[in-house]
Structure 1
Amino acid sequence: MKKINILIYAILGMFLGSACNDEDRLSPTEGLEMTYTLPQGNHDYDTRIVDWNKRCGFFILYEFEPKDIYWGQTSWQEAIEKDGEWSWGFISEPADQDYAGKQVELLEDYLFKYYPDSTLQRFMPLKFLLCSKLQYSQPLASVPIVDIPLFSSIDMIAMNYGNKEIDNMNEHAASLLKDTLNVELLWHAMDVGKLQIDEAFTQLSAYGDYVSNSTMYSLGFINGNAQIATPITDFKYYIQAIVTTPFDVLNTETGAGDYTYRGILHPSKDVNNMINRKYNLVIDYFKTMYNVDLQKIGNAVM
């Protein structure tokens, strides 16, 4: 059983962007009217890319312009190197086409298969960019440039691993990528209003007060994170907990000092049965509204 690294998803939450649905037909950002032509090549995997576009409206691209990945509606998000120093931002390169097909397979196996076409059409952004390099530059950090699995912006999600390293992905890395892809898609959809919060969920807890590790479980919260609780962050953390954690791990008894998602459904943490009630609401809501079984995603081992 894997231990969930909550920090990874907290960091990824900074990069959430926009999505598109069947009511607001998929379209590029205003001011950047772009069109994309498929297929981009004559590889075997181009047929699958074209099929996803016809079924759900989004574009999987392994050839793209800098503006496709760095334009963030209000700012240019590319890291710039000058005199050996890098600015804040992102560094990317398009996928090696010898490995882009394997990226498409990962998307199909780790993400797309869990959602009906109607839900993918609603939640997916306009384009999914396949990269051979994806890095985040943070000049004041102890590690100034780090590899990242995903990066989201206003109308796209970009994914790393379009290189030979995809052949060396072990079970832990594969499971973490599955978790990250699903959290990214769902948080992304929430941030742009394509995924609504269940109204019944918001009625179970009081919001607006500081949530600490010592009080959060008794109040029905599963992530203190030194912040004021809001319905949006609360709902996001429940989504994250479910799609990244097997059901048996959620029900495992834990000892004092464990503030991961492990055991949040066990009475050792859920002392007032509040977490179970909210968990069931989230599960039922996604099944009813979107025909998605979130716990099936959490239970999957890659």
Structure 2
Amino acid sequence: MKLRTLISPLIALLMVAGCKKEAAIVPDTITPEYSLPQGNHPYDTQIVDFYHTYGCYVLYKFTEKDFNWNISSKLSYVADQGDENYIAPALVALDKYLFKYYSTGFLKKALPYKIILSARIREIIDGNDTLATPINSVSTFSHFAFGHAGSSLAGMTEDELKVMKVDLHREFWMQAVSFGKIHLPPAFISATNYADVFPWTAKSNGVFYPTVDGVAADVYTDFRGYIDVIASKTVEELEQSLFKPANDPNGKYKLKYNMIISYYKSVYGVDLQGIAR
């Protein structure tokens, strides 16, 4: 009886201690990497609205790291800050030549963490800044950059604008598929054995770029070639050129083109053929 008398108060004490409320766990507050708006112009409201809709920052003030960092490497390009006097027409151009071809739902999936608006982008070759050759667009895992957020946009010819449009779509797609936001068509992935692709076998395999910067083709550089073609040529134009037997002896260009068009239309509701119209 004595032992039971001693144990009972001990159990009671343990039960009371176990029933005490633990302090509520408060999650750490994560400070956003960027702050919007970046200025007080009328277009800043548009940029803030874009962020709230798509979760994508549009930056015309940025650091070298914002532009250059690509996980394990740096871009071999330099970019000037966006010219605040020309941000509004740059936003109009992005909508006209890129965004309008995709639904809100698709853009939410495919857009990068940030879009950089630069007045001028140039490539660095052998340590030299190629001032005379501005770049329309480049991309990394976290952004694509537009290189005409400055006075150059107003002076571009129709042919230059067509090239710019193709470059924008290519860089938009490359950042989207290379980092898994948008899937590549499974049939396209399995359509080519890239170990068999050389400059002399590229045509028979339906590959546009057998090498890129000295590196052998893979499914991503292959897809890049198709986006260039899709964004620049209508299917009617391709039937009269690329898809002719002399240029497409095994029918692989047409086959892989149709794989891409069909997949993105059926799975994502994207009409890629509408880009070139």
Map of 1:218 onto structure 2: 204
Q: How far off its partner does 1:147 sit?
A: 2.3
Query: Which protein shows a greater Rg?
Result: 2
Counterparts of 1:214-293 in structure 2, within 5 Å, are: 215-225=201-211, 228-252=216-240, 263-293=241-271
Structure 1, unaligned runs of 5 or more = 1-31, 78-88, 253-262
Map of 1:259 onto structure 2: none
Map of 2:60 onto structure 1: 62
- CA 229–94 in structure 1, closer or farther in 2 if over 3 Å, else same: closer
1:136 to 123, 127, 134: 123
Q: Deviations over 1:18-72 (max 9, x none)?
A: xxxxxxxxxxxxxx97532222223222232122211111011112233322333
Are 1:164 and 2:151 counterparts?
yes
Counterparts of 1:117-156 in structure 2, within 5 Å, are: 117-139=104-126, 146-156=133-143
Q: Do the aligned residues in 1 keep the contact of 2:58 with 2:116 (CA within 8 Å)?
A: yes
Structure 2, unaligned runs of 5 or more = 1-29
Map of 1:82 onto structure 2: none
Map of 2:167 onto structure 1: 180
- CA 105–211 in structure 1, closer or farther in 2 if over 3 Å, else same: same
Are 1:200 and 2:187 counterparts?
yes
Map of 1:15 onto structure 2: none
User: Equivalents in 2 of 1:210, 1:108: separation in Å?
Assistant: 37
Counterpart AA for 2:173? L
Between 289-298 and 68-77, the greater mean CA deviation after superposition: 68-77
User: Equivalents in 2 of 1:229, 1:161: separation in Å?
Assistant: 30
Q: Classify the secondary structure of the residue corresponding to 1:135.
A: strand
Q: Classify the secondary structure of the residue corresponding to 1:133.
A: strand
Counterpart AA for 2:225? Y
Q: Deviations over 1:75-108 (max 9, x none)?
A: 565xxxxxxxxxxx43322111110111101111
User: Equivalents in 2 of 1:93, 1:48: separation in Å?
Assistant: 22
Q: Do the aligned residues in 2 keep the contact of 1:139 with 1:145 (CA within 8 Å)?
A: no
Q: Classify the secondary structure of the residue corresponding to 1:131.
A: strand
User: Equivalents in 1 of 2:132, 2:32: separation in Å?
Assistant: 30
Q: Classify the secondary structure of the residue corresponding to 1:217.
A: helix
- More helix per residue: 1 or 2? 2
User: Equivalents in 1 of 2:41, 2:73: separation in Å?
Assistant: 34
User: Equivalents in 2 of 1:144, 1:40: separation in Å?
Assistant: 27
Q: Do the aligned residues in 2 keep the contact of 1:223 with 1:237 (CA within 8 Å)?
A: yes
Counterparts of 1:30-41 in structure 2, within 5 Å, are: 34-41=32-39
User: Equivalents in 1 of 2:61, 2:216: separation in Å?
Assistant: 42
User: Equivalents in 2 of 1:205, 1:134: separation in Å?
Assistant: 34
Q: How far off its partner does 1:193 sit?
A: 1.9
Task: Work out the percentage of aligned pairs sharing the same amino acid.
Answer: 30
Q: Do the aligned residues in 2 keep the contact of 1:63 with 1:94 (CA within 8 Å)?
A: yes
Q: Do the aligned residues in 1 keep the contact of 2:121 with 2:147 (CA within 8 Å)?
A: yes
Map of 1:99 onto structure 2: 86
TM-score, normalised to structure 1, is 0.72
Q: Do the aligned residues in 1 keep the contact of 2:139 with 2:172 (CA within 8 Å)?
A: no
